[in-house]
Amino acid sequence: MKIELAKSAGLCFGVKRAVDTVYDVLKEKKEGPVHTLGPIIHNEQVVQDLESKGVQVLHSIDELKEEKDAVVIIRSHGITKQMQDALEKKDISIVDATCPFVKKIHNIVHEKWNEGYEIIVVGSAKHPEVQGICGWCDNCCSVIETLEEAQKYTQKEPKKICIVAQTTFNYKKFEDIVDILLKKSYDILVMNTICNATEVRQTEAGTIARNSDAMIVIGGKHSSNTQKLYEICKKECLNTHFIQTLDDLDLNLFQSFRSVGITAGASTPNNIIKEVQSYVRHE
Ligand code: F3S
């Protein structure tokens, strides 16, 4: 049986880097507590594994007690400038695992805001990444998520506008929102800050599914990006199976196939993917 594992399966570069950072800190650290500001990844198994190794998840900086040799790790979503300043005032070590693509948005927003631009963030106001971005212009920005919101938007005072996007925002929708704003004849600087990790993962999954007799999609049942991967693969290959872990895999279903493809959602850790891959290979 030929098995093809998608190169882009599982964690994107930024999340993988953040998770690896926590394990590296644990390896090197002899004393003192290790905290992450929010869960480092949307995957319970990984968060539990880290908890069992002593990592505590903080939900706000206020939860941070006076502790000797404490380390606080910032996750890939990044944080606001106010939070960063508050952390720096504490007697702790900060390890910044903000994804460099998110950090780039912080820098653009901070710089353009200081140059007098008005800032518009295209994204979801509820998302921690967007909340972090807004904190780099003192929350003096507008967040636009829908076409209706773009249509309703009016500028309070005549200023140049800088538009950035949440890294995981849908590109087509971003373009449509920008088009609406451009038609209002404002002086606009558009920075396309969308990260293509999701698109690359989806395109590759579709290609592999098209060329395989069966396809395995690994990821959390509630993960919307894994669901989307499953839909893309199912369209290309009827024998597509959605599993959370190795336990859900019924290999009898695969025995008559010559080629099996494997991909995984954005929060699926590498060890689960490898486990599935080697199990299918050796059966
Ligand atoms: Fe991941 Fe960073 Fe892109 S966290 S989705 S690589 S912006």
| Ligand 1 atom closest to Cα of residue 12 | 1
What percent of the chain has pLDDT above 70?
Answer: 100
Ligand 1 center–CA 100 separation, angstroms = 8
Please, are residues 67 and 32 in contact by the beta-carbon 8 Å criterion? yes
Ligand 1: which residue has its CA nearest to atom 6?
14
Ligand 1, residue 102: give the atom nearest the CA: 7
pLDDT tens by residue, 120-159: 999 999 999 999 999 999 999 999 999 999 999 999 889 9
Give the orientation angle of helix 13-28 with respect to helix 100-114, to 10 degrees: 110
Residue 12 Cα to ligand 1 middle (Å): 6
Answer positive or negative: Cα dihedral of 166, 172, 175, 176: negative
User: Which residue in 87, 85, 90, 83 sits closest to 68, CA to CA?
Assistant: 90
Please choose, from the candidates 255, 266, 261, the residue with its C-alpha nearest in 3D space to the C-alpha of residue 277: 261
Sign for the pseudo-dihedral over CA of 97, 63, 84, 66: negative
Q: Of all helices (H) and strands (E), which one includes residue 17?
A: helix 13-28
Q: Provide mean pLDDT across the span 203-223.
A: 94
Buried/exposed 62-99: b ≥16 CB within 10 Å, e otherwise? eebeeeeebbbbbbbbbbbbebbeebeeeebeebebbb
Q: What is the pLDDT of residue 67?
A: 84
| C-beta 214 within 6 A of ligand 1 | no
Mean pLDDT, rounded, of the chain? 94
Exposed e or buried b per residue across 108-140, where buried means at least 16 C-beta atoms within 10 angstroms of its C-beta: bbbebbeeebbbbbbbbeebbbbbbbbbbbeee
**How far apart, in Å, do the first and last CA atoms of the chain sit?**
10
Known active-site residue 129: yes
Q: Quick check: CB of 103 below 6 Å from ligand 1? A: no
Residue nearest to atom 2 of ligand 1 (CA): 14
Going from the Cα of 15 to the center of ligand 1, the distance in angstroms, rounded, reads 7
Return the structure tokens found at 192. 């396309």
pLDDT tens digits, 70-106: 999 999 999 999 999 999 999 999 999 999 999 999 9
| Residue 185, pLDDT above cutoff 90 | no
Phi/psi of residue 72, each to 5°? -115, 125
Answer whether 13 contacts ligand 1 (Cβ < 6 A). yes
Of 63, 67, 118, 129, which is the active-site residue?
129
The count of residues in the chain is 283
155: exposed, middle or buried (C-beta count within 10 Å: 0-12, 13-18, 19+)? middle
Instruction: Please identify which residue in the block is written with the tokens 């905290």.
Output: 35
Parallel, antiparallel or unpaired: strands 34-37 and 71-74: parallel
